[in-house]
Structure 1
Amino acid sequence: MRIQYIYIIVMGMLLGACSDFLEENSQDLMIPKTVQSYKEFLYGEGLNNKIVLCEYLDVMTDDAEEIINTKRPYETSVDSRKYWSYYTWQEYPEIQMDNSLSEDRAWGEFYHRILIANIILNHMSDMEGTYAEKMDLAGEAYFLRAWSYFMLANLYGKPYINEEQAAKDFCVPINHAIDIEDKLLPRSSIKEVYDLMEADIKSSIASFKSSRVEKTIFRPNLATSYLLASRIALFRKDYDRAIVYADSVLLSSEASLFDMTEPYSIPRFLNIGNNEILFSYGEVPSNISAVFQYSSSQRASFIPSTDLMKLYAANDIRKTSTLFFANAGKKPMKYYGTTSEGLYPHAFRLAEVYLNRAEAYAAKGMTTDALREVNALREKRIPENHEVTATTAEDALALVKDERRMEFCFEGFRWFDLRRWDRPQLKHRFSSAENPSNYIEYVLQQDDPAYTLPIPQKEREMNLPIENINRPRRDK
């Protein structure tokens, strides 16, 4: 990795600065002086800077399939070609079908957030504010850094399979920079990166417990950090800790599962009226609102796959209401709407607690406990005959995986889950909009190297020595 930030921090601060927000430290550099100023800085630069990331995640999975727009073929063709390279797992997915470049901004943005967290933690002792305020800010900064490394590791690092493999295979560079640098960094191992994110999330939890500051769901909080800790432990196959951290979410939050079986007034699932939301952040991914925008005019490129929709029971409200889908399951609706309508773009939410515990119990061979967690969630999604059964832990784990797929579809979970489980073979068909009978079937093989994204082209050009993933070439 090559770190080269030319006063990007200063510019980010100045965009929202008021007269007493900053104090002048030098002719070129303006530095915040209060905890509140740094909190605004972390929010604006790290949590809600209006940048949409990872739009391609769901398109790469088996939750998406193409739709041919026979009424408006040109519109379908344009949208589908924009995501064609991700949908077909191309060697360099930033290169679109017409050979133009669609920049993957996730690498640079997550490292920018890591830099923000590094700077804030480094200046903690210099800030003006109470101990509680500082601890609350530290909790947010540690959370932001752990979360950013988690995303980078699962986008650009090899999958975490086991401890021995993780100590050998490459992940992403670790960046300790606290100011402007022009420096090449090599990749660290998967284990080193996971060790760092685990240490950070533990520090976040300890900081939030010390601060006891009342939080809104628009800021990272103690329950959110416990949930991220559970997620990290699950990905490491540390099932005991995954369960303990998930338990701690319930102990630290008054949230409860949203009950779809009772009368409700919210128009979409990710909405201000949903009481299971722990933390909301970011912008609505445009691929949900554009590429999957199936309507009566059939203006869409991709729709929820047939295999996904078959998983839902006939009376599953996730399938039958417009909280999750519309147009007979052809249009994802979780994100549909505007912030003025109470929409939450992305969220950490309580359902993950139940499914993290369910998976950990199943992996430990505790079938009864795993089924209890799954059925506790399904009870809030299906009005009658919601219970599932299994006689073996293997069967229970399969049920958990299906439930995760149904519950978290189009929230960015599926690609990461496929990577960490068994990296199965996937197939996507890409057809000519003008002649649908003319198509190419693309195959992502079992354990395909393309389960890891290549480092973005811009970064590769600046850091030629860095090791890159060798993804196979695929025909157009």
Structure 2
Amino acid sequence: MKTYKHILLLALLCSGVSCNDFLEENPSKTTSVVPETLEHLEQLLNDYNSFGSEGASELIYGTDDFAIQTDLYEGISTVYSLETVQHGTWDIDYLPTTGRPYWPEEWEKIFTANLIIQNLSSVSGEDSQKQMVKAEAHFIRAYSYFQMANIYCLPYTNGNKAELGLPLKQTTSFEENIERATLEDTYAYIEADLQKALELNRDLEVVNGQNRTWRASTVAVLGFAARYYLSLNDYAMAQSYAEDALDLHSYLRDYNTEMSFSTRPNPVTIFNPDAETVNIEYPYTHDLQSIPTDKLEWGESYYYRFLSNGAWNYFPSTELLNSYNQDYDLRYKYHIVEDYTYDRGAVDPAYSYPGYIFFFKSDILSGPSVPEMLLIKAECQVRQGSWADGIQTANILRGYRIDASAPANIRDLSATSEADALTKVLEERRREMPFVHRWYDIRRYNNNEVTTDDVIMSRTFYPYTGGSILGAESPINYTLDKNSRRFARPIPETDIIASGGTLKQNEY
């Protein structure tokens, strides 16, 4: 695998962390640097820039949370790159072979984890600390494999167990087999790593007022375990791990008192047809881009992972926008930025459409978090028959998200049946965690024991070729059926070619 062979250099380069002689050396395929102390391996783990970002266009554009809409394209066509539309219509013919960072980014993380596991027995250091670093490395590997399996493989079901999974890399050897294992073996590999990761015994520390989420902790692993078992529709296990995580850390940010708008003015002149100055209101979390202060002080996060969109265009679909109570839901007030297209150049003529902003314009929290655990617990309670309890659990979160002046019947969810409760809790999950979890959620909704939560995604948009969007032609309908094989997104063709055919592409 070409990507995997070249990330040794990346894994050992410093990116903003304190470097020592070991990390400053220049490794190569034949004469790689050998770590000698546990500190050398700790340096790799402390590089949050290497582990935090998730540049997954498949997640950003590939669900009904993102607006692939003709009206938005006609208002400001520059917001849509061709790749945006390709991902947003689940294309398998024209996706670019290069410039898709998610696949190599996650393999780099897996490589680093393997580098640590492989060298732990030979470096100096206390055995107890080595065990913690080993558990953390297994967590990193499990996390990245899980993320990739949910994008590049079909959903894990009894009928899909023999389908293609991922290459199971256990070392840093360039000669290690890169054939894709079965999906069953891939998930067994993830679960084995998860069990080793659960041996991690480390508090979520606070350093200078900032949570040390860039390193794994017990609560981070518990949160991931809850997510993992939810994906398998094992609701008892998922609820148990979510509750264990909440027992350790349950802080919620109160949007009534702990959210505010940016104090920096953001004036934009639009022509409608007269020149008018419009001040775009961003949440305060918009202001810091290059330093992680706000992210580390957020408080709800267990682990420093963020869905990262370098194009700065999280445009919420009309369906997503309509899911919020726009008068009282403070998530709408602070995260849905009105007139965002003005900031992207739609000023002459003026065209207004909102954007979704969490941290700056590019990053949305994706690592395990307190809200996610509450919503997992709520959903699992409902699916196991305790639907009234599930509604109450979801309302704990809403107490921190809905305007305190809202009437009680708006602030609190209510339900009349288990089916109604499930619908309400899943809607709340979507409002709380748009873009980040929607792709994973639709995959599992379509492959569980009930049909009322199934999601068939459909868009009406212009046709396109490998080179352009055909905006002058009539729009057509694009649909991702419930059991479509396109839920396994294509692996970059460059890696297929570089492997000499050993690495197989998904079949469609």
TM bin, normalised by shorter chain, reads 0.7 to 0.9
Q: What one-letter code is carried by the residue in structure 2 that aligns with 1:61?
A: T
**Aligned to 2:232, which of 219, 232, 236?**
236
| TM-aligned CA distance change 1:226 to 1:445, over 3 Å | same
Q: Equivalent residue for 1:261?
A: 256
Q: What one-letter code is carried by the residue in structure 2 that aligns with 1:31?
A: V
Q: 1:264 Cα deviation (Å)?
A: 3.4
Q: 1:29 Cα deviation (Å)?
A: 2.1
| TM-aligned CA distance change 1:54 to 1:263, over 3 Å | closer
Q: What one-letter code is carried by the residue in structure 2 that aligns with 1:464?
A: G
Q: 1:146 Cα deviation (Å)?
A: 0.7
Conserved in 2, the CA contact under 8 Å of 1:371 and 1:388? yes
CA distance in 2, matches of 1:51, 1:151: 12
Q: Equivalent residue for 2:355?
A: 331
Q: How does 1:128-277 map to 2 (within 5 A)?
A: 128-161=124-157, 164-181=158-175, 183-189=177-183, 191-206=184-199, 208-209=200-201, 214=205, 216-253=212-249, 255-262=250-257, 264-265=259-260, 267-268=284-285, 271-277=295-301
| TM-aligned CA distance change 1:126 to 1:286, over 3 Å | same
Q: What one-letter code is carried by the residue in structure 2 that aligns with 1:85?
A: Q
CA distance in 1, matches of 2:387, 2:431: 20
Say whether residues 1:416 and 2:440 are aligned partners: yes
**Aligned to 1:372, which of 374, 385, 392?**
392
Conserved in 1, the CA contact under 8 Å of 2:22 and 2:35? no
CA distance in 2, matches of 1:260, 1:213: 23
Say whether residues 1:470 and 2:466 are aligned partners: no
Say whether residues 1:92 and 2:93 are aligned partners: yes
Q: Equivalent residue for 1:295?
A: none
Conserved in 2, the CA contact under 8 Å of 1:52 and 1:286? no
CA distance in 2, matches of 1:83, 1:321: 26
| TM-aligned CA distance change 1:262 to 1:448, over 3 Å | same
Q: 1:179 Cα deviation (Å)?
A: 2.4
Equivalent residues, number: 438
The TM-score with structure 1 as length reference comes to 0.82
Conserved in 2, the CA contact under 8 Å of 1:68 and 1:431? no
3-state SS in 2 of match to 1:123: helix
Conserved in 2, the CA contact under 8 Å of 1:315 and 1:382? no
CA distance in 2, matches of 1:113, 1:257: 29
Say whether residues 1:315 and 2:339 are aligned partners: no
Share of identical aligned residues, percent? Answer: 22
Q: Equivalent residue for 2:36?
A: 33
CA distance in 1, matches of 2:91, 2:23: 46
Q: Equivalent residue for 2:277?
A: none
| TM-aligned CA distance change 1:362 to 1:47, over 3 Å | farther
Q: 1:186 Cα deviation (Å)?
A: 3.0
Root-mean-square deviation (CA, aligned residues, Å) is 3.2
Say whether residues 1:54 and 2:85 are aligned partners: no
CA deviation profile, 1:362-401 (whole Å, cap 9, x unmatched): 2212211211111111111113232222232222222222
Q: 1:71 Cα deviation (Å)?
A: 6.2
CA distance in 2, matches of 1:5, 1:243: 36
| TM-aligned CA distance change 1:394 to 1:346, over 3 Å | closer
Q: What one-letter code is carried by the residue in structure 1 that aligns with 2:390?
A: A
Q: 1:10 Cα deviation (Å)?
A: 4.6
Q: How does 1:281-296 map to 2 (within 5 A)?
A: 281=305, 284-287=308-311, 289=312, 291-292=313-314
Q: 1:324 Cα deviation (Å)?
A: 4.6
The TM-score with structure 2 as length reference comes to 0.77
Q: 1:12 Cα deviation (Å)?
A: 3.6
Identify unmatched segments of 5+ residues in structure 1: 96-100, 293-302, 472-476
